[in-house]
Amino acid sequence: MFTGIITDIGRIAALDRRGDLRARIATGYDTDSIDIGASIACDGVCLTVVTLGRDWFEVDISAETLARTNLGGWEDGRLVNLERALKVGDELGGHIVSGHVDGLAEVIGSVDEGDSTRLTFRAPVELAGFIAPKGSVALNGTSLTVNEVSGVEFGVNLIPHTKGVTTWGAVQVGDRINLEIDTLARYVARLREWGDTPG
């Protein structure tokens, strides 16, 4: 589990396309404190560490993950939001994030408001109903609060701190973003669906 609070910006150092895609990610994390098999959220996708170096780790990315996320567009040098798995006793500063991406949202608008930036996204139709004003979403692994919702479109506001400690400072209209809906919204919808079932 994760919190959506980004703790490092990694850089894609190498990509090896074989049966799966293996990515080497340069990091500022102390890799001596990372175990083989550890989970690290990379742009919001929970990936397993398979190899470690002094200032990098490697992960394998399956064809299924490439098909459902924006990781298929990774290139050498790309910057990536990173978060290590939550430990018991850690501060929960964002919201509960699983690292299992539900779909891709598209950035369709970007407007600077003072030092902040207001972004508008288009969500997949099947996920739009899970997104609520003042609710939470994870976008490329970052826990963000939804400002407004209109049909399949929703908006968030990025403060300067968020833009400075994540990859969001470089976002552009047209970018496809990993979207994970709030786990609570998913269960509320499931309970409502179950309650509507006869029998």
Q: Same domain for 57 and 28?
A: yes
Number of domains in the chain: 2
Q: Tell how many helices (H) and how many strands (E) occur in the chain.
A: 4, 12
Whole domain around residue 13: which residue ranges? Answer: 8-84
Q: Same domain for 190 and 107?
A: yes
Q: Same domain for 114 and 164?
A: yes
Question: Could you give the angle at the alpha carbon of 160 between the alpha carbons of 183 and 73, nearest 5°?
Answer: 60
Question: What is residue 125's predicted lDDT score, i.e. its pLDDT?
Answer: 97
Buried b (16+ CB within 10 A) or exposed e, 65-75: bbebbbbeebe
Instruction: For the chain, list residues with pLDDT below 70.
Output: 187, 190, 195-199
CA torsion through residues 184, 5, 70, 109, sign = positive
Q: Is residue 178 within 8 Å of 45, Cβ to Cβ?
A: yes
Question: What is residue 166's predicted lDDT score, i.e. its pLDDT?
Answer: 98
- This prediction's pTM: 0.92
Q: Is residue 98 part of a domain?
A: no
Q: Is residue 2 part of a domain?
A: no
Q: At residue 197, what are phi and psi to the nearest 5 degrees?
A: -80, 125
Say which CATH number the domain at 120 has. Answer: 2.40.30.20
Q: Is residue 33 part of a domain?
A: yes
Q: Same domain for 75 and 24?
A: yes
Q: Is residue 36 part of a domain?
A: yes
Q: Is residue 91 part of a domain?
A: no
Quick one: tokens of 95? 């919201």
Q: Is residue 95 part of a domain?
A: no
The domain boundary, picked from 40, 57, 84, lies at: 84
Question: What is residue 150's predicted lDDT score, i.e. its pLDDT?
Answer: 97
Question: What is residue 199's predicted lDDT score, i.e. its pLDDT?
Answer: 54
Q: Is residue 194 within 8 Å of 155, Cβ to Cβ?
A: no
Question: What is residue 198's predicted lDDT score, i.e. its pLDDT?
Answer: 59
Q: Same domain for 55 and 132?
A: no
Quick one: tokens of 4? 């959506």
Q: Is residue 89 part of a domain?
A: no
Q: Is residue 189 part of a domain?
A: yes
DSSP state, 97?
A: B
First to last CA, the chain: 35
Which amino acid, residue 86?
Answer: L
Q: Same domain for 128 and 173?
A: yes
